[in-house]
């Protein structure tokens, strides 16, 4: 059993909008499973307010579709096995719980059983990941 990866709650601000970093329980509660070379990502959610201005739901959905960060929830068996050049993948494979950066508008949006919006995308849509900082024990 793998340990849950925790990140401090914060916002990600990009040229496309402000996003609240999602929290992940460590379990796939979406009811969606990634197959083959696909990856299921829980994207960061568009902020509902900017300062004291409330963002309308329709605009929030548009900004949310442009999210480029999130957490991997499920990885297909064939994902991250081969690079785009056909050669075998070199290095560590991303796993559920990893915070990743992906292409804007990548993948297909699907609502999970838990009511959250997820994206199913090809592994090549993931550009990189964030390394967790380990705090020194006192």
**Domain 11-124: which CATH number of 2.60.120.10, 2.30.33.40, 3.40.50.300, 3.10.310.10:** 2.30.33.40
Distances (CA, A) of 11 to 21, 87, 100, 124: 6, 36, 14, 25
The pLDDT of 110-136, averaged and rounded, is 83
pLDDT of residue 104: 86
Contact (CB, 8 A) for 40 and 74: yes
- Answering whether pTM is above 0.75, one says no
Of 12, 43, 55, 11, the closest CA to residue 109 belongs to 43
Q: Domain residue spans in the chain?
A: 11-124
* Interval 20-77: pLDDT, tens: 677 788 899 999 999 999 999 999 876 666 666 666 667 666 766 677 889 999 999 9
């Amino acid at each position: 059993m793998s340990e849950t990866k925790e990140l401090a709650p914060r916002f990600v601000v990009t040229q496309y909008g402000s996003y609240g970093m999602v929290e992940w329980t460590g379990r796939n509660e979406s009811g969606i499973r990634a197959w083959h070379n696909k990856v299921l990502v829980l994207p960061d959610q568009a902020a509902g307010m900017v300062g004291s201005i409330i963002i309308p739901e329709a605009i929030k959905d548009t900004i949310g579709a442009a999210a480029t960060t999130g957490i991997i929830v499920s990885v297909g068996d064939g994902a991250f096995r081969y690079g785009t050049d056909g050669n075998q993948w070199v290095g560590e494979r991303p796993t559920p719980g990893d915070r990743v950066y992906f292409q804007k508008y990548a993948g297909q949006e699907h609502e999970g059983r838990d009511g959250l919006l997820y994206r199913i995308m090809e592994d090549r849509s993931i550009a990189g990941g964030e390394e967790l900082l380990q705090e020194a024990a006192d």
